[in-house]
């Protein structure tokens, strides 16, 4: 029943917010005060979508990862203001790649608190990516309004610094690019990946984030919660080939 409800919500959101593939910013209601936003960019000449998430609290909005499309930073802020009559309080990026950190500087300039881990900041500096104002030195629990979530670094996988965000009470796991959608046929961009450690890292996520009702991957569809096991299977198969 939950999957059917999510499908209905997604269809409603698509009808209201998007105009087919030409839409640059799409916003979907996930559950309660949680929303997914999707933007697009090109990777190896292919147009690819990227997921981010925000949660509306009674203090304001918490954004996880920034839009991949650099023209959509302000539209996201404006959409949250119009739809929810609130402002964005903070943004946290889950690893150093541009589809996660691209909007950090823009958000900071607009009075939004920005966060990454120290490891992400070091890699962002090294690779010329945008950097956050505030740095996290260890796994941290944030509480904003009525919601709490934990940042968790399980080890290297998609990138050396990838973290996941765990809303334990809501059983909601934001996996970012560490987790691939059930429709993904491969682990995607492995230019900064640690293929050997990838399976171990995913098993740590499974152990830490038990029985998630929602799992949000960094790209593509998020309806099927089998995405974590699907990613683990692909990582283990890739290791066997090495």
Q: Summarize pLDDT for 96-143 with one digit per residue, the tens.
A: 999 999 999 999 999 999 999 999 999 999 999 999 999 999 999 999
Contact by Cβ (8 Å): 101, 129: yes
- Rounded to the nearest 10°, the torsion over CA 31, 170, 206, 62 is 70
- pLDDT > 90? residue 36: yes
Structural domains of the chain, with CATH: 2-241 (3.60.15.10)
In Å, how far from its chain's centre is CA 42? 18
pLDDT for residue 90: 98
pLDDT tens per residue across span 38-78 = 999 988 778 999 999 999 999 999 999 999 999 999 999 99
Q: Mean pLDDT across the chain, nearest whole number?
A: 91
Higher-pLDDT residue of 238 and 22 is 238
Query: For a pLDDT cut of 70, what percent of the chain falls above it?
Result: 90
pTM for the complete prediction? 0.90
Q: Which residues are catalytic?
A: 95, 97, 99, 158, 189
CA distance 233 to 228: 9
Residue 223 has pLDDT above 60, yes or no: yes
Give Cβ neighbours of residue 116 (< 8 Å, ≥ 6 apart): 92, 93, 96, 101, 104, 124, 131, 132, 135, 136
Q: Number of C-alpha atoms within 13 angstroms, CB side, residue 161?
A: 20
Distance CA 129, CA 125 (A): 6
Q: Which pLDDT score is estimated for 43?
A: 80
The pLDDT, as a whole number, for residue 15 is 36
* Best CA proximity match to 217, nearest among 155, 167, 168, 164: 164
Instruction: Answer whether 176's CB lies under 8 Å from 205's CB.
Output: no
């Amino acid at each position: 029943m939950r999957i059917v409800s999510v499908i209905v919500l997604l269809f409603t959101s698509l009808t209201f917010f998007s105009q087919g593939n030409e839409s640059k910013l799409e916003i979907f209601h996930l559950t309660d005060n949680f929303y997914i936003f999707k933007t697009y960019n090109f990777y190896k000449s292919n147009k690819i979508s990227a997921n981010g998430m925000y949660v509306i609290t009674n203090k304001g909005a918490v954004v996880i990862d920034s839009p991949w499309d650099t023209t959509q930073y302000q539209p996201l802020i404006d959409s949250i203001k119009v739809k929810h009559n609130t402002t964005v309080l903070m943004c946290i990026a889950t690893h150093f790649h541009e589809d996660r950190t691209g909007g950090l500087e823009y958000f900071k300039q607009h009075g939004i608190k920005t966060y990454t881990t120290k490891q992400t900041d070091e890699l962002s500096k090294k690779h010329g990516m945008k950097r956050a104002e505030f740095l996290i030195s260890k796994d941290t629990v944030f509480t904003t309004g009525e919601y709490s979530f934990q940042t968790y670094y399980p080890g290297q996988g998609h990138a050396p610094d990838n973290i996941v965000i765990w809303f334990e009470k809501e059983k909601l796991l934001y996996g970012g690019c560490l987790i691939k959608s059930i429709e993904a046929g491969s682990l995607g961009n492995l230019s900064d990946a640690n293929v050997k450690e990838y399976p171990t890292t995913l098993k740590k996520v499974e152990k830490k984030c038990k029985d998630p009702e929602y799992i949000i991957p960094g790209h593509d569809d998020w309806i099927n919660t089998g995405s974590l096991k699907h990613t683990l299977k692909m990582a283990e198969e890739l290791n066997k080939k090495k």
